[in-house]
Structure 1
C-alpha cells in the first residue's frame, strides 16, 4: 500500500516536472519572439530615420551651428533636444509601440518632403526647417499609426521652438515693441520721435530696437517651458492652452519692460548708463521674474478640480497591432521617397569661401579718383562670408580742384554678394551689420530714391569718441529684385526662382564731408553710380 502511494507520488512529480519544462520552454519561446520583434522594429526605425538624417544633414548642421551661438535666440536648442529625447524615450518604454504600415499618413509625409525639397531648390532654409518636425511625425505615423503616435506629438513638437525659422517673426516683434514703448513713453515728459524701429530722444541720442531686442529669445523659451510643463503635469487641452497663451503674453511683456527701462535710463543719464551697452543679463533677470506668475498659474491649473478628475480617469489608449506582413512596406515606401528627394536636391558643396573673390570694377574714371582705403573715416559695413566683394573709397576730381582747403567730400561704394543663400552666407543674416555699435552711434534716419525709382534706406552715424559724421544708404539686390528692407529681401528668394538666379547682394554707399549737405551729396553719388553697380552684378550672375 505504501509502495503504491510512493509510485503515485513519483508519477505526479514527473508530470509536474514535464509541465513545468513545457511552460519554461513556452515562456522562452515567447520571450524570443518578443525580443526578435523588438530587434526587427529597432532595425526598421534605424533604416528610415538614418536615411532621413542623411537627407537633412546640411539643415541639421546649420541648426546646430545656430545653437552654438550663445548670444542668439536659439542657445537653448541642445538642452531642448535632450529634454525631448528623454520624454520620448520614457513614453516609448512605457507604451512599447508595435510597428505596422498605415498608408494614409504617406500623404502628409509626401507634402512635408516636397516642402523640404522645394526649400532646397529655392535656397530657403526656413522652409526646410519648418517641415522637419512634420516629417519626423509623419514617418512615425506611417510605421505605428495615429493611436500610438499621438503620444509623441508634443515631446517631438517641442523642438519647433529651437528651429531658426522663427527669425521671420523678429521684424514684427520689433515693431510691436516700438509701438508699446511709444505708448509708455507718451505718459512721461520726454521729447521723442519714432521712425520704424528707431526711438530718437531729442537732444540726447537714438535707440535701435534691433533683432536682439525683439524679444524672440524670451518668447521661444517661454513657449518651451509652458509646453513642457503642460506635457508633464496637465491633462486637459484647455489648461495647456491657457498656460501657453499666458506664457506668450508674459514673455512679450518682459521684453517690453526691458526695452522701456533701457530707454528711460538712457534719457535720465544722457546715454551714460552702463545698462545701455550691456543689457542682455538684465533682460534675463526681468524674464525670470515673469516666470514666477507663470508657474503659479501652472500649479493652480494642476490642482484644479477639472485636472484632478481628468487625472483619475486617465488611461492608456489601446494600440491595435498591424499584421506583420505589412511591417516592411512602410519602410520601403518611405525609403524610396527619401532617396528620390536626395537626388532632387541641389548640391551643397562649396558652402563658404575663406577668401571672397573681387569684382572687376573701378569707379575711378574721369569723374572720380581712388583713395587707397576700403573704409570711410574708419567705417564700413560688417558683412559675413561674402562670395564676391567690391569696396572702394573715392573723391570727386572736380570738387577737389575747386576747393581751396583740401578734399570736401569722400565717397564710399561697396557690393557684398553671395552666389547662393545658405546658412552663414546669406545677404540677410544676424551677423551682417551696417556698423559697429561700439564705435558709432545712430543719429538720424532718411530715405533716398535712386535711378528707376529704386528706394534706399539711409542712416546717419556719428563717432562715439569723436565728432565725425558719415551718411550711409543701402539696399538689397536679390536674384534681380531690388528691395530696401531685410524682410522683403529675404522673401525675394521665392520670386527669384522663376528667373533662374540664386545670388543675393547688399549694395552700400557712404559719404563723409565737413561743410556740405551729406544726404544730398550721397543722393547725387547714388544716381550716377547705382546703375553701374547693378550692371556689374548682372554681368556676373545673369544667365
Structure 2
C-alpha cells in the first residue's frame, strides 16, 4: 500500500509589506533631507551648541538613540500598514508657524524646537497615526536634542545657594548670605551659572526618560521614575555645593576651589545616577510583558499612490514655505531705515549730556547705543537714559539672547524685589 503525504507549502514572506515599507521609508527620508537643507542654518545652530557647551553635549547621542529605539520596534511596525494622515499636515503647519515666530523675534530656541518638531510631523503625515503611536517615545525623545533649559538656571542657582546656606547653618558654621554670594570664615563662594546644576538636571532627565521607557511598561511607574530623575539631581546638586564648601572649609581653601570642584561634581553625579538606577531596578517589570493592545490592530486600507503624491508635495510645500517667507520679510526689513535720537531736556531739566557712570548692561550685537544723562537744574536729581537699538535682528545680534545680561560683567545679583515708587500726582508704577 502506497501512502502519499502532502506537506503544506511553507508560508511565503509578505514581500508586498516589505516593499511598501521600503517605499514609504525612503519617501520620509527624502522629505526630511529636503527640509534639513531648507532649515540648514537652524540645524547647524543646534550642533554648534552641542559642540561648545558641556551642558548639551548629550545631544550628539539623541538621534542615534531614537533611531535604535525605532529599530527595536520593527516587529510592531511590520504589522502596521503605513498610510497617509491628512491631519499630519496640521503638525507641519504648526511647526513652520513656530519657526516663523521664532525667526521674527530671533528666538533661536523656538526655531530649534520647530525644526525638531518637523520630524514627528512629517512621520505622522506620511506614515499615519498607528505608526506614530508605535514609535511615540522615540519621537518625543528627540526633544532632548534641542538645547533647552537655560531659563531654569537662575532658579536653580537660587535653590542651590539656599540649600547650601541651610546646610552650613545646620553644621554650625557662621555664614553670611547675600543673593548668590556665600561667605564663611574660610572664604567667599559664588553660586555661578556653572554651579546651578542645569547640566545634571538635563542629563538626568534624559537618562531617566530612557531608563523608564526601557524598564517599565506601566505609565505610573514611568512617571514616578521620571519625577525622581528630575528631583534627585536638584537636591544632589545642592548637597554637592554644600559639600564643596565644607571641603574648602576643612582644607583652609586648599581643595575644591578650582577646576577640581567640577571634577568632584561629575563624580558625585555619577554615583547619584547609579544609586537612582539601582533603586529603579527594584520595581522593574519582568521581561516579556505583552505589548500595548493598541499596537495589535490589524492592517488598514492602503493609500493610493495619487493621494500619497499629493500629501508629499503638500508637506514639502508647507515645509519650505517657512524659510521662503522669512527671506522675503528679511529683505523688506533691511529696506527700512531707523534713527535713534534722544530729545532735548525741558521743564527745568538739562541734557542730554555725557553720563557720569560708565555702567551699561551686557547686551551684545546691537547696532546703535545712546547713553546720556539728564540733570534737574539746582537739584541733585539725575536720570541716566540708555537706549540699545537692534536695527534688524540676526543670529548673534538679537535682543532675546541668553548671553545678554542686565547687570553687566562687573555686577552680581544679590536680591530681587518688587516695589511701588510714588510719582507726582499720587500715581504708582510697578518696578
- The normalised TM-score by structure 2 is 0.72
Where relative contact order (Cα < 8 A, 6+ residues apart) is larger, the structure is: 2
Moved more, 185-194 or 339-348: 339-348
Q: How far, CA to CA, are the matches of 1:241 and 1:445 in structure 2?
A: 36
Q: Secondary structure at the match of 1:187?
A: helix
1:75 partnered with 2:53: no
2:41 corresponding residue in structure 1: 58
Say which of 179, 185, 194 aligns to 2:168: 185
1:345 corresponding residue in structure 2: 326
1:318 corresponding residue in structure 2: 297
Kindly report the root-mean-square deviation, in angstroms, between the aligned alpha carbons of the 2 structures. 4.4
2:336 corresponding residue in structure 1: none
Moved more, 313-322 or 327-336: 313-322
1:44 corresponding residue in structure 2: 27
Say which of 79, 87, 90 aligns to 1:107: 90
**8 Å contact from structure 1 (residues 101, 327) kept in 2:** yes
Which structure: larger Rg? 1
2:310 corresponding residue in structure 1: 329
* 1:128–1:319 distance in 2 versus 1, CA, 3 Å: farther
**8 Å contact from structure 1 (residues 384, 425) kept in 2:** no
Say which of 199, 224, 228 aligns to 1:246: 228
Q: How far, CA to CA, are the matches of 2:408 and 2:100 in structure 1?
A: 36
1:490-530 Cα offsets, whole Å, 9 max, x none, are: xxxxxxxxxxxxxxxxxxxxxxxxxxxxxxxxxxxxxxxxx
**8 Å contact from structure 1 (residues 147, 319) kept in 2:** no
**8 Å contact from structure 1 (residues 125, 422) kept in 2:** no
* 1:131–1:234 distance in 2 versus 1, CA, 3 Å: same
**8 Å contact from structure 1 (residues 133, 157) kept in 2:** no
1:168 partnered with 2:146: no
1:156 partnered with 2:139: yes
Shift of 1:255: 1.0
Q: Secondary structure at the match of 2:176?
A: strand
Gaps of 5+ in 2: 332-339, 341-352, 372-385, 423-430
1:95 partnered with 2:77: yes
**8 Å contact from structure 1 (residues 418, 427) kept in 2:** yes
Richer in strand (by share)? 1
Shift of 1:216: 1.1
Shift of 1:149: 0.9
2:123 corresponding residue in structure 1: 140
Say which of 169, 180, 193 aligns to 1:211: 193
Gaps of 5+ in 1: 1-11, 351-358, 360-366, 370-375, 393-413, 454-483, 485-543
Q: How many residues align?
A: 379
Say which of 229, 244, 248 aligns to 1:262: 244
- The normalised TM-score by structure 1 is 0.58
2:267 corresponding residue in structure 1: 285
**8 Å contact from structure 1 (residues 386, 416) kept in 2:** no
* 1:193–1:320 distance in 2 versus 1, CA, 3 Å: farther
Shift of 1:27: 6.8
1:188-207 Cα offsets, whole Å, 9 max, x none, are: 333333333x2231665433
Shift of 1:269: 4.6
Q: Secondary structure at the match of 1:311?
A: coil
